[in-house]
Homo-oligomer: A and B are copies of this chain.
């Protein structure tokens, strides 16, 4: 039985109890929202030892970090260092997007070491393996594609991005859209290229039932990919994007009928004032399926700072209902991310997630800010360190300037908080007013 089936049969499975505890919410309410498809719990049946992660309505906004080898940085050990960093800096999930030579080995090691859910994009493996065999990236067969999915499920992958919203109709829409950047999703590009090369419908769309069967068997959460996500401000909210989204909405319905957990992926590059509308449309079309966004990046002109452009978009998206933020590192659009980029990317996304959680009234969100403000007023640096999203920043500061730490930024003896406590804290205030 799948998680949803168990819940429908009246049980509260262990993973639901664990997530309820972690989120400080009622387990029965959580179970109900999983059964209606408004929340997904990401955890492969084979990985009962990890902490399951809940994504969706009323829960903390989650953050995913992408790691993985590539042609030009092909070192599994380095990716395991990144994984450790992701756990330290509190990413909620990682996706292994390896495209290096030993990507299966890399994934197995990541699955072995990771204490948080691991996602993948199985078509990457098909492309890399095709290339290894005969130099053509897109020579994989339909069988290869499903075998990659099933193999990864068997290994323990917890969630998978499948670009099943790409079909002949959405490709036609893409063609009509006359985009500046066409397709920036790699999985999307593989899928579209494959369809054109082989003159066939997308197997993941055409045989979606087969995907559902695998997902059921292993309790994979399907992350319905947005291969048509806009990769430029100029391309946002066009026919191609919404054409794919409407296919995904139909596949969400089919997944729910099959009691398979599903989340939906979204943009991308997008002007800030289109984000709220996009989230609301996704929620409306999918009847509240969890929404997993990449960014959105609110401008194209800040390479080197796309963790910031993504944090702006992510905060807005999450504040109006997006549930899951894929991080963007400062190296986006520039090169391959190093450890410091991974950290910067995760913290920026966690800031966006937390800023949104205050608005969403997620349990314990604004309470953290209140506790921080109180500690700030008391100049209590130990407590500030404890609550801070990156305690290291305060630790480093206190090592550098211990003498300076009883005063605020730039203020010294002119500290407004000290001054105001002196005057506002005493009885004279009543004489003044």
A interface residues (Cβ-Cβ under 8 A, vs B): 68, 70-72, 97, 99, 124, 127-128, 131, 137, 168-169, 171-172, 174-175, 180-186, 188-190, 192-193, 195-197, 199, 231-235, 269, 271-273, 298-305, 307-309, 311-312, 315-316, 319, 331-337, 347-348, 351-352, 354-356, 358-359, 366, 368-370, 372-374, 376-377, 384, 387-390, 392-394, 397, 400-401, 404, 407-417, 419-424, 428-429, 431-433
Contact = CB atoms under 8 A, between A and B. Distances in A.
Contacts of A197: 423, 428
Given A182-B417, A355-B309, A424 B174 contact: yes
A397 B334 CA distance: 7
Given A180-B373, A190-B419, A298 B315 contact: yes
A303 B420 contact: no
A385 B131 CA distance: 33
Given A174-B424, A410-B70, A196 B301 contact: no
Nearest to A316: B316
A404 B305 CA distance: 20
A86 to B, nearest CB: 16
A183 B272 contact: no
B335 A304 contact: no
A400 to B, nearest CB: 7
B298 A409 contact: no
Contact of A424 (B169, B196, B233, B368): B196
Contacts of A417: 181-184, 189
